Structure 1
Amino acid sequence: MISGKRRRVRAIFDQTFHRSARSEGDVIELLVKAVENLKPICEVKKVKIAGTTYDAPSIVGRDRQQSLAIRWILEGAEEGRISKSTSLEKSSNEEIVDAYRQRGIAHMKRKNLHKLASVKRRFAHFRWPTRTGVQDSPGVIKRLSLGRVSQG
């Protein structure tokens, strides 16, 4: 899907959506819900304070949430294609359906990122913006580690 091969990518996604339409029904709703299920709430970024580098969790913006979710679907499809030696169309269809059902490689990446952010939550004060209007932001990571934050 790299190197500007638009026709090849278009053919892959046409076949993927055709396959999804046969098995799951409404393709657009399936894809939108799959991306919504994979959007991360927070991520870990490196912050250098007084010569020491810390991994500090921070809130992810809407655009980055969507790009990460789509990237994870594509990476999961590629990994599934290699491990199962199937076509990219079939593996991308399976990954989208798995993301819709909150399982699969892409969902594990999201889960691992949230787990890492909850482990590193003690460094959240290094990265937290106060001008965003979100006053309870460090509490999001604490509730995330306790499993109390719903995605939305």
Structure 2
Amino acid sequence: MSRRSITKKRYPKRDAKYDSTLVSLFITRILRNGKKTLANSIVLDTFDAIETQTNTNPIQVFETSIKNVIPLVEVKARRIGGSTYQVPLEVNQYRGTNLALKWIITAAKARAGRTIAEKLANEIMDASNGVGSAMKKRQETHRMAEANKAFAHLRY
């Protein structure tokens, strides 16, 4: 383990079309096998689908969906004296955003539909309305943290 200063977190550059770091984070989350142009076109198709279905700014819908899905707490396994406890911990904003993006993408992949862009658009719109699989995952995480609140004193 290094004894030098802690490395600074590298934040992504803003997206070219929408001028948003959140969109560029989303693109890198969708990215597979280094094909960033494909990931970029998927995100653009997703936002076009959102715009045609809702007649509003797709970035606003996307941001509200992310804000709705971001968890406040999560549980982490901690081993103490031979037994493992699920310890609830607060989630910082960067991790919360990444978790929300991850949950939205996995929920969209599990959905029935034609293209991934349509699935993502439907999941984002559902999350902005407070429903959908990603919101269910958030509520499940909060329920787990609430159930294990007794072990909160064991946090790191």
Alignment TM class, shorter chain as reference: 0.7 to 0.9
- Following superposition, the deviation at residue 51 of structure 1 comes to 2.6
Aligned to 2:59: 28
Q: Give the corresponding residue for 1:140.
A: none
Q: Which has the higher contact order (CA 8 A, sep 6+)?
A: 1
Q: CA RMSD in A?
A: 1.1
SS in 1 for 2:121: helix
- Does 104-113 or 1-10 show the bigger shift? 1-10
Q: Identity, % of aligned pairs?
A: 30
> Which blocks of at least 5 consecutive residues in structure 2 are unaligned?
1-30
Q: Number of paired residues? A: 125
Tell me, yes or no, if structure 1 residue 96 matches structure 2 residue 96: no
Name the counterpart of 2:138: 110
* C-alpha deviation, 1:37, in angstroms: 0.3
Cα distance in 2 between the residues matched to 1:77 and 1:41? 22
Shift of 1:85: 4.0
Q: Secondary structure of the residue that 1:44 maps to in structure 2?
A: strand
Structure 1 match to 2:91: 60
Which residue number in structure 2 is paired with residue 123 of structure 1?
151
For structure 1, list consecutive stretches of 5 or more residues without a partner in the other structure: 130-152
Residue 50 of structure 1: CA displacement?
Answer: 2.2
**CA deviation profile, 1:85-142 (whole Å, cap 9, x unmatched):** 4210110000000000011110111011011111111111101x6xxxxxxxxxxxxx
TM-score normalised by L of structure 1: 0.79
**Structure that is richer in helix per residue:** 1
Q: Could you tell which deviates more after superposition, 84-93 or 100-109? A: 84-93
* In 2, Cα distance between equivalents of 1:61 and 1:13: 25
Runs of 4+ in structure 1 off by over 6 angstroms are none
5 Å-filtered alignment, 1:14-93, equals 14-24=44-54, 25-80=56-111, 84-93=112-121
Give SS of 1:86's match. Answer: coil
The residue number in structure 2 matching 1:144 is none
Secondary structure class of the residue paired with 1:18: helix
